[in-house]
Amino acid sequence: SQQGEEDPQALSIQEGENATMNCSYKTSINNLQWYRQNSGRGLVHLILIRSNEREKHSGRLRVTLDTSKKSSSLLITASRAADTASYFCVGGFKTIFGAGTRLFVKA
Amino acid sequence: DTGVSQDPRHKITKRGQNVTFRCDPISEHNRLYWYRQTLGQGPEFLTYFQNEAQLEKSRLLSDRFSAERPKGSFSTLEIQRTEQGDSAMYLCASSLGGAGDTQYFGPGTRLTVL
Tens of pLDDT along A83-107?
A: 999 999 887 655 667 788 999 999 9
DSSP 8-state class, residue B73: S
Q: Does residue B42 contact residue A88 with C-beta atoms inside 8 Å?
A: yes
pLDDT of A13 higher than 90: yes
Closest by Cα among B31, B29, B42 to B89: B42
Facing B108 at nearest CB: one of A31, A42, A98 = A42
Contact (CB<8Å) B102/A33:
yes
Q: Does residue A89 contact residue A4 with C-beta atoms inside 8 Å?
A: yes
What is the Cα–Cα distance from B63 to B79, expressed in whole angstroms?
Answer: 9
Q: Does residue B111 contact residue B13 with C-beta atoms inside 8 Å?
A: yes
Show residues of chain B in contact with A46, CB under 8 Å: none
Tens of pLDDT along A47-70?
A: 999 999 999 999 999 999 999 999
Q: Does residue A30 contact residue A51 with C-beta atoms inside 8 Å?
A: yes
Facing B101 at nearest CB: one of A88, A93, A98 = A93
What is the Cα–Cα distance from B99 to B9, expressed in whole angstroms?
Answer: 31
Q: Indicate the residue type of B113.
A: V
Tens of pLDDT along B44-91?
A: 889 999 999 999 888 878 899 999 999 889 999 999 999 999 999 999
pLDDT band at B107 (very low <50, low <70, confident <90, very high): very high
How many helices and strands (H and E) does chain B possess?
0, 11
Show residues of chain A in contact with B99, CB under 8 Å: 30-31
3-state secondary structure B93-112: EEECCCCCCCCEECCCEEEE
What is the Cα–Cα distance from A16 to A73, expressed in whole angstroms?
Answer: 19
| Torsion angle in degrees (nearest 10) through CA of B111, A8, B106, A56 | -170
Minimal-distance CA residue of chain A relative to B36: A97
Closest by Cα among A23, A92, A15 to B45: A92
